[in-house]
């Protein structure tokens, strides 16, 4: 049985995916796991750091979409 995401210890070989929700908020998720409800893969995968670097480049406005739209 594999560890849940909350208890998983990162390994150097772990692959991650950048995910985004309906509020255009970004996060990283284990590439080999099913996505949690409400999240969609953005298409970027890599090491955790590569994914975080990508998020830093693309997520320039941290304001949720619903607040920006109001």
Give the model's pLDDT for residue 40: 98
Mean pLDDT by 10 residues, the chain (70 residues): 56 91 97 97 97 97 92
Rg (CA), the chain: 13
Give the model's pLDDT for residue 11: 77
Give the model's pLDDT for residue 12: 72
């Amino acid at each position: 049985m594999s560890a849940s995401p909350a208890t998983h210890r990162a390994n150097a070989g772990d692959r991650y995916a950048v995910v985004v929700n309906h509020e255009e908020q970004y996060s990283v998720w284990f590439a080999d796991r099913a996505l949690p409800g409400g999240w969609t893969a953005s298409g970027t995968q890599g090491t955790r750091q590569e994914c975080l670097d990508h998020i830093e480049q693309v997520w320039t406005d941290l304001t949720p979409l619903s607040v920006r739209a109001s």
